[in-house]
A and B are shown apart, each in its own frame.
Chain A
Amino acid sequence: AQSVAQPEDQVNVAEGNPLTVKCTYSVSGNPYLFWYVQYPNRGLQFLLKYITGDNLVKGSYGFEAEFNKSQTSFHLKKPSALVSDSALYFCAVRGYGGATNKLIFGTGTLLAVQP
């Protein structure tokens, strides 16, 4: 069965410092991986995806993620955090089997950036 784990419920970082939000996955075959961000009372906004190719993927708002096949991880990173980055972050993997395109989400990580 496919699954995604986000081991940290919350990550605290000071503005200007680098941030990392962790994600590990379990999937048969090659994974399609995604990061989304959710602001209060809003839907999810797409940040970036890994399908194939370079292990370092660059996305929106200065975020990037590193795909590591041996560690089955896809951690989200940003070199310098902003207060406005404070939000809920979700890692997701595309489901396998049949014709499904469903996304399987982690439980989310709340990022709090202190000024």
Chain B
Amino acid sequence: NAGVMQNPRHLVRRRGQEARLRCSPMKGHSHVYWYRQLPEEGLKFMVYLQKENIIDESGMPKERFSAEFPKEGPSILRIQQVVRGDSAAYFCASSPPGGRSNQPQHFGDGTRLSIL
């Protein structure tokens, strides 16, 4: 009974490179969320996706960040031209289908991104 799977667990990039973070939701879940946790801070919402659709991207930085959840395969959070301030833990969560759900979101163990 696999939970939310994120890879890689740790990712090191140099400034200016691209970072790709992957998330496979729990079986049967079609809603995916990305959150960012900066050191000593709580989680901040970034984006909410359903298959092939971005539902809410109000938390995404306007530049360099993008997300997708294709019909087949995992959800991808992509950060172009990374900067030191992008260093953080990025968490993916998923929930079952069904409108404005009252179901809890289930979280992966995160990807810890370090920028050199």
Chain A interface residues toward B at CB < 8 A: 32, 34, 36, 41-46, 49, 51, 90, 94-95, 98-108
Contact = CB atoms under 8 A, between A and B. Distances in A.
A46 B35 CA distance: 15
Contact of B95 (A41, A42, A101): A101
B91 to A, nearest CB: 6
Contact of A102 (B4, B33, B104): B33
B42 A46 contact: no
By secondary structure, the A interface counts as loop
A105 B43 contact: yes
A59 B14 CA distance: 43
Contacts of A98: 56
B100 A43 contact: no
Contacts of B112: 41
Contacts of B35: 103, 105
A102 B91 CA distance: 13
B31 interface: yes
What is the size category of the interface that chain B forms with chain A? 20 to 34
B48 interface: yes
Contacts of B109: 41-43
B102 A51 contact: yes
Contacts of B31: 101
Contact of A49 (B42, B45, B91, B102): B102
Given A32-B102, A51-B102, A101-B31, A43 B4 contact: yes
B52 to A, nearest CB: 15
A4 to B, nearest CB: 9
22 contacts: A32-B102, A41-B112, A43-B4, A43-B6, A43-B91, A44-B91, A45-B107, A46-B106, A49-B102, A90-B42, A90-B43, A100-B55, A100-B56, A101-B48, A101-B55, A101-B95, A101-B101, A102-B48, A102-B58, A103-B33, A103-B93, A104-B45
